A and B are shown apart, each in its own frame.
Chain A
Amino acid sequence: MKLIAYILKSLWGHRARTMLTVAGSAVALFVFCFIQSIQEGMNDLKQRQEARGSLIVFQANKFCPATSHLPQDYDQQISKFAGVKDVMPIQVFTNNCRASLDVVVFYGVPPQKLRTARDFEFLSGNWSDFETHQDAAIIGRAVAARRGIKAGDKFSIGDLSVNVAGIYQSDNPAEENYIYSHLDFLQRRQGINLVGTVTQLEVILKPGTDPLITSTAIDERFRGGPVETNTRAKGVFQANSLGDLSQLIEMSYYLGLACVGLVLSLVATTTLMSVEDRIQEHAVLRTLGFSGVKVFGLVLAESTLLSIAGGFLGVGAALITLKISSLSVGAEAVTVAFIPSLHLAWVGMLLAMVTGICAGIIPACYASRTEIVPALRHV
């Protein structure tokens, strides 16, 4: 600790190099956190649905919400299955079926069913305004932040207009990217009459119910019926809906690792350059009585501090940007939120520290093992 001033002054003494390294490390950690936040969002989405135990019934062999049309009365039949707690019919409308960073997804649902199925907390507005007005909608916090929507506003997208009855937040970040309106309203939106059909049914299971058995039973029940169904656990359904996007998100893990590799090579190169520039200075320190281990520690501390400083800036900037932007990515009316979690912050900082240590090992060995006398003559 007594040598911390020397370490900091050494870094500050070469401030251009230090700042460029910290900036490079920060950019790499920023990208790492951005990439990992979508991974976090994906994992969160899967884990939540697995834990909650709900199924999605979709029309068999259909993939886009615009093409799935299930008879609405299927909900009555499914609700009689053993282990089923409730069934919520959902009409889906989205402005974009393809992958997008600003997809707007409307879920038309019976308000009273939504109230029991979701645990929303209103930031503004209330349930009763939503329940009592046919053209009312409640909007997730993330969509509202992205689009600058407030309670009381009129929000239109394409030929669909709703009055905003409230802005809600949820403990499920993905839910904050949806807009909920009345089922009837969405079935009768301008120019279309879909009364009697819904896009999908969300089946909420009682605790302890086996989702696989129930989903198989549902699909068996409607096999050969007017519309065949494809029932999956909600997490599986969402992962399938995201399709290629899901694979891209998984691929992004390797991009994250590449960012870590970038930090490693950047800090290692800079530290090695710094050590080569200061061969004579390190030899002087050792002549004064600094042991090889001490010089090793000094170099290692420098590389670790560089990496941690970059990590702190990069991780901090990424988390703030993600928090402010409320970003999500969606496809087929399923959205995945970019989650700027505390866990991600810890992982980012830990990686920065470990990377800094690893990057410093070779330069530190070089500095600590160089022969003193030739190093003193080094110019």
Chain B
Amino acid sequence: MPLVSIKNLTKQYHKGGETITPLDSVSLNIEQGEFLSLMGSSGTGKSTLLNLIASIDHPDSGSIVVDGVEITTLSRSQQARWRASHLGYIFQTHNLVPVLTAYENVELPLLLLPMSRSERKKRVEVAMQAVDLLDRANHYPRQMSGGQEQRVGIARAIVKHPEIVVADEPTGDLDAETSEQILDLLKRLNRELDITMLMVTHDSAAAQIADRQFTLDHGKLIQTHNVTTAAFATSGDQT
């Protein structure tokens, strides 16, 4: 049974008198521990798909089942609780809370979970160690480079041991060298911690680190590369 099962997902926007369909009956299965990348031109709906899986946006039709939970039918507060315990989100612009230190930023999602202070401390230290930033724990975002900020963002996404991590252009704001380091880090975390990852990117080189690569074109999901032999489906056609 796949960790994530997306069936016939459709999302439409109305802009002026025009109807835009970034996702047109998209279906996709993601297995536990897989690393998927999603490419496409601007406005093709990559981030929309990511946001729907993250349950911060609502589809017009279709379903998303994550680890047996149909997340599209949950109430807002249930979705918030689900995100708090099951989802990690890596933003393009890092989006760290500027008034909190790196340690506090990573600790933030754990404050929502029933967890002792010592357990939180242990988890934050492990996550910061994983991104090799334990020595920057007391630094504020303004005192760190873009790459370091993104690594804190990654630590924040993995600290709660989520079922799935979604990354929205995680290297979009970084130079080539730092991008490479971040991609290596994501791949390492995927392998070592068996974290399921879905990454949206513009960069075809970045997309290549994924086990499976997809492109969104006119609302349809097209697989462009498959490193593994895992099952997948496009546009409702299970393959």
Please give the residue numbers on chain A whose beta carbons come within 8 Å of chain B beta carbons, in ascending order.
2-3, 5-6, 9-10, 12-13, 280-281, 284-294, 372-373, 376
Contacts and interface: CB of A to CB of B under 8 A. Distances in A.
Interface residues of B, number: 26
Contact of A288 (B76, B83, B100, B104): B83
B156 interface: yes
Q: Tell me which of B51, B91, B95 has the highest count of chain A C-beta atoms within 10 A of its own C-beta.
A: B95
B77 interface: yes
Contact of A290 (B54, B91, B95, B112): B112
A318 B99 CA distance: 33
A289 B85 contact: yes
Q: State the 4 A-B residue pairs at the shortest beta-carbon distance, nearest first.
A: A289-B84, A13-B99, A291-B80, A289-B83
A207 B41 CA distance: 94
Contacts of A9: 99-100, 104
16 contacts: A5-B104, A13-B98, A284-B95, A285-B97, A287-B91, A288-B83, A288-B156, A289-B80, A289-B82, A289-B112, A290-B112, A292-B76, A292-B80, A372-B56, A372-B57, A376-B91
A294 B56 CA distance: 16
A289 B97 contact: no
B209 interface: no
Given A286-B80, A288-B83, A2 B54 contact: no
Contacts of B77: 291-293
Contacts of A280: 95
Interface of B: 51, 54, 56-57, 76-77, 80-85, 87, 89, 91, 95, 97-100, 104, 108-109, 111-112, 156
Given A287-B83, A289-B80, A289-B84, A6 B56 contact: no
A284 B80 contact: no
Given A9-B99, A281-B97, A373-B51, A288 B108 contact: yes
Contacts of A372: 51, 56-57
A145 to B, nearest CB: 46
Given A288-B84, A291-B81, A6 B57 contact: no
A290 B97 contact: no
Contacts of A13: 98-99
Nearest to A5: B104
Q: Tell me which of A6, A286, A287 has the highest count of chain B C-beta atoms within 10 A of its own C-beta.
A: A287
Given A2-B111, A6-B108, A289-B80, A12 B99 contact: yes
Contacts of A284: 91, 95, 97
B109 A289 contact: yes
Given A9-B104, A13-B99, A291-B77, 7 more contacts: A287-B56, A287-B89, A288-B83, A288-B84, A292-B77, A293-B77, A294-B80
Contacts of B76: 291-292
B96 to A, nearest CB: 8
B56 A3 contact: no
A379 to B, nearest CB: 9
B109 A288 contact: yes
A165 B66 CA distance: 89
Nearest to A9: B99
A293 B84 CA distance: 14
Contacts of A373: 51, 56-57
